[in-house]
């Protein structure tokens, strides 16, 4: 009498699918925090006005796991004079948007990016 063959046993440390646990590819990187298209449009609108006024010259963007940063420079080879930050983790508390000065002071923080960016409106008005 013939008995049915049982499938071969999986080697230890495997999931039974033939691949070791964890798979052949590394785990995906955690998601980044970034500005969406509407937020960038608001930021670049203010940036463009300040460049036209001769106040700002360069910018840089950084997208990290917990924060997205738009840094503003007066010249390309110095530290940023302002940083516009988005921290989604603070959405429920103080607001996810902040404008931070060169010395690290928070100039304005809030839930609405348009309102936070109004901190720069006073800098555009000059006596002629």
Q: Please give the tally of structural domains in the chain.
A: 1
Long-range contacts of 11-15 (CB under 8 A, 24+ apart): none
pLDDT at 127: 43
β strands within 38-86, DSSP E: 58-63, 68-73, 82-86
Q: Any idea what DSSP says for residue 96?
A: S
The answer to the question of residue 85 being in a domain is: yes
As a whole number of angstroms, the distance between CA 109 and CA 85 comes to 9
Q: How confident is the model at residue 27 (pLDDT cuts 50, 70, 90)?
A: low
The answer to the question of residue 9 being in a domain is: no
Does residue 98 sit in helix, strand or coil?
A: strand
* Number of helical H runs and strand E runs in the chain: 3, 5
Q: Flag whether pLDDT at 45 surpasses 90.
A: yes
The stretch 28-35 carries a mean pLDDT of 76
Q: What is the pLDDT of residues 47-103, one digit of tens each?
A: 999 999 888 999 999 999 999 999 999 876 678 999 999 998 888 888 899 999 999
Whole domain around residue 62: which residue ranges?
Answer: 37-123
CA 118 distance to own-chain centroid: 21
As a whole number of angstroms, the distance between CA 104 and CA 85 comes to 12
pLDDT at 25: 73
The answer to the question of residue 81 being in a domain is: yes
The answer to the question of residue 29 being in a domain is: no
Q: What is the pLDDT of residues 1-11, one digit of tens each?
A: 555 555 555 55
pLDDT at 18: 52
The answer to the question of residue 4 being in a domain is: no
Query: Which residues on adjacent β-strands are paired with residue 58?
Result: 73
């Amino acid at each position: 009498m013939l008995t049915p063959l049982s499938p071969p046993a999986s080697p230890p440390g495997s999931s039974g699918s033939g691949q070791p646990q964890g798979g052949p590819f590394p785990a995906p990187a955690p998601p980044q925090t970034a500005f969406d298209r509407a937020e960038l449009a608001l930021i670049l609108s203010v940036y463009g006005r300040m460049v036209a006024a001769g106040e700002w010259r360069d910018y840089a963007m950084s997208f990290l796991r917990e924060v997205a940063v738009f840094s503003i420079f007066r010249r390309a080879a110095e530290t940023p004079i302002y940083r516009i930050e988005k921290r989604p983790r603070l959405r429920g508390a103080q607001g996810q948007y902040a404008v931070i000065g060169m010395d690290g002071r928070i100039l304005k923080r809030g839930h609405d990016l348009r309102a936070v960016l109004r901190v720069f409106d006073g800098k555009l008005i000059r006596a002629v």
